Amino acid sequence: MTAKVAFVTGGAQGIGEAISKRLAKDGFAVAVADLNVQTASKVAQDIEDAGGKAIAVALNVADREAFSKAVDEVADELGGFNVIVNNAGLGPTTPIDSITPELFDKVMHVNVAGTMWGIQAAVRKFHELKHGGKIINATSQAGVVGNPNLMLYSSTKFAIRGLTQVAARDLAKEGITANAYAPGIVKTPMMMDIAHQVGKNAGKDDEWGMQTFAKDIALGRLSEPEDVAAAVSFLAGPDSNYITGQTIIVDGGMQFH
């Protein structure tokens, strides 16, 4: 039997890399999609070296046509298409007065439009292959409650929760589920940069910046990318078949809902 196929955007580093490797371990053939195809190729090679199946895909998620083409190519090369993980995103630090139209357009196109294009491409492919599938979108604990200095990022992540719920309503009758995962404070390059910028804006150091986000984690430690990948593994697998429209918060107990 051909392994199920998962398509992971932003799969070349951080949370995306951990998701790609975890889904491969779960038995998926994985398309590691990223703007940086060289780094994506290394992740794919790591998966192959560990006995899994993976390919690297160059993709700018903000490009609707390119996204659709990439999904077609992956389905052809890997022999199917079952799960899309819309993980790619930008997280600039944005005090209110710092947001420009250019930055707004850039972040909205990657985070929100990129997720929407991924949903469209996946649904089209599920229809063509005549089966259901799973759509898994990256939001954030900053998309559950507004975070300081992250007006632009938080607003995109709130939007992703909304479009996930609409997709779940619209697609349920077709056997397609749509859910989201909301990471907390994860040890990734993007989070370290956010902490640096927040500390810098306040005239403080990086550790101070990190603690503005991390001080309320009930479990008392920052998240590893693998913590988030474990939740995505659940959403991608059969144990979540009766779950749709939900956001699973993976933040060590920062937000309770």
Provide the annotated active-site residues. 153
CA dist 107 and 96 (Å) reads: 15
Coil vs helix vs strand at 46:
helix
Contact 46, 20 (CB under 8 A): no
Contact 67, 59 (CB under 8 A): yes
Positive or negative torsion for Cα 202, 184, 116, 75: positive
Here the tokens at position 55 are 């390919």
CA dist 49 and 244 (Å) reads: 34
Rg (C-alpha) for the chain, rounded Å, is 17
Order of strands, edge to edge, in the sheet holding 176-183?
Answer: 53-58, 29-34, 5-9, 83-86, 133-138, 176-183, 247-250
